[in-house]
Structure 1
Amino acid sequence: MLGEGPIPVIDLRAGSLYNLAISLLVFLGSTYAAWAIFSRGKKTLSEKSFSLFLAAIGTYWLLVGAGNLFAWYKILSRMAWIAFLVKILSILPLLFLAYFFCSEIFANKTNVRRTTFLYLLISAVYLGLTITQDLTQSTITYWGVQWQVSPLPELIYLVGLLFPLSIASVFLIIKAMLISFVEKKESNLTLYFAGIIFIFLEYLQMTAVAVTWQRLLVRLFYILIAFGAYLYFVGRIEEKRFIPREEQVLPQKKARIPFFMKLLFLFVLLAIVPITISSFLMFVSFREIIDLYVYQPLLWNLKASREALILALNHVQIQSLFLMMLTGLLVLVVSALVSRAIAESLKSISVGMERVTAGDFSFKIRSDTNDEIGDVINYFNEMSAEIKRSREIMERWNRELEAKVVERTEDLRTLYNISKEVGSSLDLELLISRAIERLLPVMKAELYAVLVPDERGKFSARIGRGIGLKDLDLEEGRGLLGEALQKKEIVFTENVPGDPRCQEDLYRNLGIKTMVVTPLRAKGKTQGILIIGTKEERKYAGERGISLLATIADQLAIAIENVGIYEREKEAVARLTELDRLKNEFISMVSHELRTPVTSVDGYISLFLTGAAGSITEDQKRYLTIVRENDQRLLTLINRLLDFSRIETGRFSIERKLVSIHDVIRLAVKNIKPQIEKKKAEIKMKLEAKNINFMGDQSKMEEVFVNLFENALKFDQEGKPPLIEVSTKDAGDFIRIEVADNGIGIEKEHLGKIFNKFYQVEETLTRRAGGVGLGLALAKEIIGNHHGEIWAESGGGNKGSKFIFTIPVAEKV
């Protein structure tokens, strides 16, 4: 501990005045910092709580100073009530600091209030115990008065009040350092370290038995807390030094005091005030020594008089050290404030010069002083105003010199944009509206219409805004429109009501003031007429917009012609599409109507063959078998027509399940087995694929293999037994399937067409083998719906064919 106990000096009390002086300095420093922070306009929660914290510190030490003054006057026993005020006020700084720490830790205000309230309850317990147990007990020494606290209240104060604050401050410091490290930005830890210093000072204050000169020395750190908080908050606040140049500032009526005189007055004040205080305190100290040891000689007979005198002189030496430190601290603080005020003015000028250098002349610096620094600020404002005027003159000259270039550039840009719009669409309304909308700003017009002739030769507005004309039978040379058709060039009028060419009702009913008429011609034919008008007066003679309009008129005419061709072709395609739709509907309807009777025929034949309708002869059985085979062929054809009808109408669906390609091949071979036996054909299977599973429709894939097998059986070579080879192999993320035969083959020119619907290689072959050309087309659609691909290879006449297709394995679908 700093100073373990009081040093008895016979009836000397000057140290209490030093205690009073330091307490007053703490009061003044803390109160000034609190006022400076609290008086700066809109305040944050941190500013409010910390300024109240500083104000509470100042008020507490003011009362402590008053207690020491009473002790010096020897009236403390009569003013004992001050002990209760001191104890109550000692709690307030802790409460405000706790609220500040809680607001920094918790984002939720409810948590802040609850934690602060809990802290308040602990404070109330401490206060109640110390008031009831300690009353007004105090210890008075040479260096002042110390009010006593019993062990139990002291323990509550240290553990219940100071310890949580220390934990909170350390937590906030660590949190700020981590955030600074992670986000790579600086953090200001001034307030948190100030909280730690305050907690340490309070710990020393609470554990002290009596006041010693060392504890008085440590008490100066309260001033550093206030000074640091002042620099933290006030230094962050950017005053309104820069104001708009147009804002008028009323001149302040201040007496002019040269800056040199201000500094001189400040330095004189710093010299006189500390010297006066030091002289007074030293006078009081020596006066006490002289009174006790010179004018009261009986005291020299005391045994301890000589030792007491030596102690008193030692105290005087310590007091001299105090005075030097107080003087140095006062000079340091005041010098820092003065230098900051000067630096702020110079910083404003520096920032202003940077903004002017960057081309910002929209501000001026507020001058708050009537001295040399204020003169420099005024000179800067005048200089920047002159630079601004010179720059505006140069910019105006540049604008005038560049006006022509801008106009030409704008004409080229408009021409380019219109050309791009003309070629960007085949929708006539959209095409013309986009092009005209870009032209109207150049023409400074708001109304337009595009007249297009119909098959009768009459003109009507196809698109427009504010001009509605239809079924006009225009005659060359009559009126303004007829003149444009006759001259085949742009004509205009700047006064529609007074122009003799515009006396017909169709012009009067338009209600416009000016009109520009442009014939749109392409390939020697008038494709339309463009009308542009305004409701206000407008001069077109020598206008650059007229020449630009002439440039783009040919492009618009070509665009209208192209759109006409496109629309005629579009109508033809629409008619063909409708015919194809009707064909598909007819096929679907006929297939549905045929399927029912054919299925019934198949069922009745099966009844006859099984003997359900009675016994039949072998000849009858053979005839019925032939009928049933042909009936099944017809049913297969009908099913294929129905499937393709579903594909064409978008109703064809695939049921996706996990399927083995090898199982599909075996089932297809089993289904086609009667035909294989009838043809005495041979099927060889070489199933080598490892990844055999795919996501798909098993029945549809069986249909693919059946179609390929049937083609191989149908298009075989005469006199040669059919041979079909089926193989599978892995192909990366796909399964590769090959179906090869030894049939008549396919010529090269037919390989790219055999998957088209209803395509037949040769009519004679079709007639011999049967079918309508849907099997391969349907197979291609099914494989395509499985995200696969199919193609054919063949060497031509009697060299066989090979059909190859791939489908993705299950994991890659």
Structure 2
Amino acid sequence: IFDTLVENAVRLCEAERAFLFQFDGKFLRSVATYNVSPKLREFVDKNPIAPGRHSISARAALERQTVHVHDIQGDPEYAYAVRDERPIRTTLAVPMLKGDDLVGTITIYRLELKPFTDKQIALVETFADQAVIAIENVRLFNEIQDKSRQLAEASQNKSQFLASMSHELRTPLNAIIGLTEMMVTNAARFGTEKALEPLRRVNAAGTHLLGLINEVLDLSKIEAGKLELNSEPIDLARLIDEVIGTAGQLADKNNNRLVVETRDSVHALTADPMRLKQILLNLLSNACKFTKQGEVALRVRKVADGRDWVELAVADTGIGLTAEQQTKLFQDFTQADSLTARRYGGTGLGLALSRKLARMMGGDVTVTSEPGKGSVFTVRLPAEAVH
């Protein structure tokens, strides 16, 4: 950009050579030249210019005004530094300003005695304004790049921390869950018959906490690009039976009726079965939690929309969502609102994770809802695996 600016300034103003200097707070340093000999360029690079009256560029920087010297050879105030260069006669230096702050200067030279016209001076001043904008854009771009690098490093550090923390927590939790299961299952052997209810509560709490840790770990893996899918042909009817078997207990807690509706003969789907179960259980768990003495339905159908899709919709007759609440649903660690979080609990991880997993499999999770009329969360996946 700077090279183009000085080249255009020279050509349009009928000059011979040019410098574009950038001010670093102390000195003017050359960042672009046109038709300048290597010797002069080297000299200027080694001798940065401080604002002052010892050169045309320095004076323009000092006074923050355009300086136009008709005949530099006839002006005793200026001495030509490099003696073996062809003598300069007419010089124009224009400061580059951002408000009152000095950004640099553009200086153009003629080897013949021929003052620049008012129109040519105005043109160079326009180039100076463009150079200021370009320098500011470069500064902003570099700043954005630096911020992006910092954010990427912070995200990577966070992901590494979460992975390490999750591993450290999962190990003792698995031991607690295993031990309580064993003490409940073999109560007579261990003499724990009177402590069955507390043991079950400990086991349930540990299992719940382990699920949350696994969700955090999955999110951190997705952010780090390290979560891998294992797609394979799935017997969808069988997978749905397994999911409904698990979700039945969730529905019973709030006296909900759990039903499956299959419009078409959907027998097969190529996807990651473990992740699909995870998505469906997340959605069914939410539906059962926010619905009381109502109905939760899992509806399955085929869709032809440019390609073959399978849609699995979880519909409930629960509390529903406002349009504003729906905009926040799929954000990490975000729930519909603080009141809902306090009343129903949860961390706001499940929906964010479900959508990310669905998108990794080439699909998506969407929602339609009305307050007081329930919600429908739809998982749409391609019938064939996305590679």
Normalising by the residue count of structure 1, what TM-score does the alignment of the two structures yield?
A: 0.41
Compute the displacement of 1:627 (Å).
0.4
Counterpart of 2:190 in 1: which secondary structure? Answer: coil
Is 1:489 the equivalent of 2:58? no
- How many Å separate the matches in 2 of 1:512 and 1:520? 27
Amino acid of the structure 2 residue aligned with 1:489:
T
- How many Å separate the matches in 1 of 2:84 and 2:215? 64
Is 1:593 the equivalent of 2:181? no
Q: Are the equivalent residues in 2 in contact too, given 1:449–1:468 (CA < 8 A)?
A: no
- How many Å separate the matches in 1 of 2:220 and 2:174? 19
- Residues 812 and 630 of structure 1: is their aligned pair in 2 closer, same or farther, counting only changes over 3 Å? closer
- How many Å separate the matches in 2 of 1:662 and 1:510? 90
Compute the displacement of 1:546 (Å).
5.8
- Residues 558 and 753 of structure 1: is their aligned pair in 2 closer, same or farther, counting only changes over 3 Å? same
- How many Å separate the matches in 2 of 1:591 and 1:445? 68
Amino acid of the structure 1 residue aligned with 2:348:
G
After superposition, where does 1:533-548 map in structure 2 within 5 Å? 537-538=111-112, 540-542=114-116, 548=123
- How many Å separate the matches in 2 of 1:510 and 1:586? 64
- Specify the alignment match of 1:727 in structure 2: 299
Counterpart of 1:502 in 2: which secondary structure? Answer: coil
Is 1:560 the equivalent of 2:119? no
After superposition, where does 1:294-693 map in structure 2 within 5 Å? 431-440=1-10, 448-454=18-24, 456-464=25-33, 466=41, 467-468=44-45, 472-475=49-52, 477-485=53-61, 486=63, 488-491=65-68, 500-503=76-79, 507-508=81-82, 513-514=87-88, 516-532=92-108, 537-538=111-112, 540-542=114-116, 548-568=123-143, 571-572=146-147, 574-611=149-186, 614-690=189-265, 692-693=267-268
For residues 139-173 of structure 1, the C-alpha deviation after alignment (integer angstroms, 9 at most, x for no partner) is xxxxxxxxxxxxxxxxxxxxxxxxxxxxxxxxxxx
| 1:766 corresponds to which of 318, 323, 341 | 341
Counterpart of 1:726 in 2: which secondary structure? Answer: strand
Compute the displacement of 1:706 (Å).
0.6
Compute the displacement of 1:759 (Å).
0.5
For residues 677-700 of structure 1, the C-alpha deviation after alignment (integer angstroms, 9 at most, x for no partner) is 454432110112345533321111
Compute the displacement of 1:459 (Å).
3.0
| 1:750 corresponds to which of 314, 325, 334 | 325
The root-mean-square deviation of aligned C-alpha atoms, in Å, is 3.4
Q: Which has the larger radius of gyration?
A: 1
Compute the displacement of 1:578 (Å).
4.1
- How many Å separate the matches in 1 of 2:84 and 2:160? 52
Q: Are the equivalent residues in 2 in contact too, given 1:794–1:802 (CA < 8 A)?
A: yes
Q: Are the equivalent residues in 2 in contact too, given 1:759–1:773 (CA < 8 A)?
A: yes
Is 1:800 the equivalent of 2:374? yes
Q: Are the equivalent residues in 2 in contact too, given 1:691–1:809 (CA < 8 A)?
A: no
- How many Å separate the matches in 2 of 1:592 and 1:675? 28
Counterpart of 2:348 in 1: which secondary structure? Answer: coil
Counterpart of 1:752 in 2: which secondary structure? Answer: helix
Compute the displacement of 1:811 (Å).
8.7
- How many Å separate the matches in 1 of 2:199 and 2:84? 85
Q: Are the equivalent residues in 2 in contact too, given 1:459–1:470 (CA < 8 A)?
A: no
Compute the displacement of 1:801 (Å).
1.5
Q: Are the equivalent residues in 1 in contact too, given 2:21–2:104 (CA < 8 A)?
A: yes
Is 1:777 the equivalent of 2:352? yes
Compute the displacement of 1:806 (Å).
1.6
- Residues 585 and 527 of structure 1: is their aligned pair in 2 closer, same or farther, counting only changes over 3 Å? same
Compute the displacement of 1:582 (Å).
3.4
Amino acid of the structure 2 residue aligned with 1:599:
N
- Specify the alignment match of 1:695 in structure 2: 270
Compute the displacement of 1:508 (Å).
4.0
For residues 412-439 of structure 1, the C-alpha deviation after alignment (integer angstroms, 9 at most, x for no partner) is xxxxxxxxxxxxxxxxxxx323433454
Amino acid of the structure 1 residue aligned with 2:289:
K
- How many Å separate the matches in 2 of 1:511 and 1:637? 75
Amino acid of the structure 2 residue aligned with 1:725:
A
Counterpart of 2:229 in 1: which secondary structure? Answer: coil
- How many Å separate the matches in 1 of 2:237 and 2:269? 11
- Specify the alignment match of 1:366 in structure 2: none
Is 1:787 the equivalent of 2:372? no
Counterpart of 2:327 in 1: which secondary structure? Answer: coil
Counterpart of 1:483 in 2: which secondary structure? Answer: helix
- Percent identity at matched positions? 25
Structure number with the bigger relative contact order (C-alpha 8 A, sep ≥ 6) is 2
Relative to total residues, which structure has the larger helix share, 1 or 2? 1
| 1:714 corresponds to which of 289, 310, 319 | 289
- How many Å separate the matches in 2 of 1:518 and 1:632? 72
- How many Å separate the matches in 2 of 1:432 and 1:692? 64
Compute the displacement of 1:645 (Å).
0.1
Compute the displacement of 1:756 (Å).
0.6
Q: Are the equivalent residues in 1 in contact too, given 2:187–2:196 (CA < 8 A)?
A: no
Q: Are the equivalent residues in 2 in contact too, given 1:521–1:558 (CA < 8 A)?
A: no
| Residue segments in structure 1 that go unaligned for 5+ positions in a row | 1-430
Counterpart of 1:810 in 2: which secondary structure? Answer: coil
Amino acid of the structure 2 residue aligned with 1:770:
G
Compute the displacement of 1:712 (Å).
1.4
- How many Å separate the matches in 2 of 1:520 and 1:698? 63
Aligned length: 372
- How many Å separate the matches in 2 of 1:532 and 1:545? 11
- Residues 749 and 542 of structure 1: is their aligned pair in 2 closer, same or farther, counting only changes over 3 Å? closer
Counterpart of 2:166 in 1: which secondary structure? Answer: helix
For residues 326-372 of structure 1, the C-alpha deviation after alignment (integer angstroms, 9 at most, x for no partner) is xxxxxxxxxxxxxxxxxxxxxxxxxxxxxxxxxxxxxxxxxxxxxxx
Counterpart of 2:260 in 1: which secondary structure? Answer: strand
Compute the displacement of 1:520 (Å).
1.7
Compute the displacement of 1:766 (Å).
2.3
Q: Are the equivalent residues in 2 in contact too, given 1:495–1:513 (CA < 8 A)?
A: no
- Residues 562 and 748 of structure 1: is their aligned pair in 2 closer, same or farther, counting only changes over 3 Å? same
Q: Are the equivalent residues in 1 in contact too, given 2:97–2:129 (CA < 8 A)?
A: yes
Q: Are the equivalent residues in 2 in contact too, given 1:790–1:803 (CA < 8 A)?
A: yes
Compute the displacement of 1:484 (Å).
2.3
- How many Å separate the matches in 1 of 2:127 and 2:145? 26
Counterpart of 1:672 in 2: which secondary structure? Answer: helix
Q: Are the equivalent residues in 2 in contact too, given 1:484–1:519 (CA < 8 A)?
A: yes
Amino acid of the structure 1 residue aligned with 2:20:
V
- Specify the alignment match of 1:375 in structure 2: none
Q: Are the equivalent residues in 1 in contact too, given 2:51–2:59 (CA < 8 A)?
A: no
Compute the displacement of 1:669 (Å).
1.6
Counterpart of 1:590 in 2: which secondary structure? Answer: helix
- How many Å separate the matches in 2 of 1:510 and 1:575? 49
Amino acid of the structure 2 residue aligned with 1:634:
L
- Residues 772 and 518 of structure 1: is their aligned pair in 2 closer, same or farther, counting only changes over 3 Å? same
Amino acid of the structure 1 residue aligned with 2:29:
S
Q: Are the equivalent residues in 1 in contact too, given 2:56–2:67 (CA < 8 A)?
A: no
- Residues 490 and 653 of structure 1: is their aligned pair in 2 closer, same or farther, counting only changes over 3 Å? farther
For residues 653-703 of structure 1, the C-alpha deviation after alignment (integer angstroms, 9 at most, x for no partner) is 222222244333222222334434454432110112345533321111110
Amino acid of the structure 2 residue aligned with 1:687:
T
Normalising by the residue count of structure 2, what TM-score does the alignment of the two structures yield?
A: 0.82
- How many Å separate the matches in 1 of 2:86 and 2:177? 81
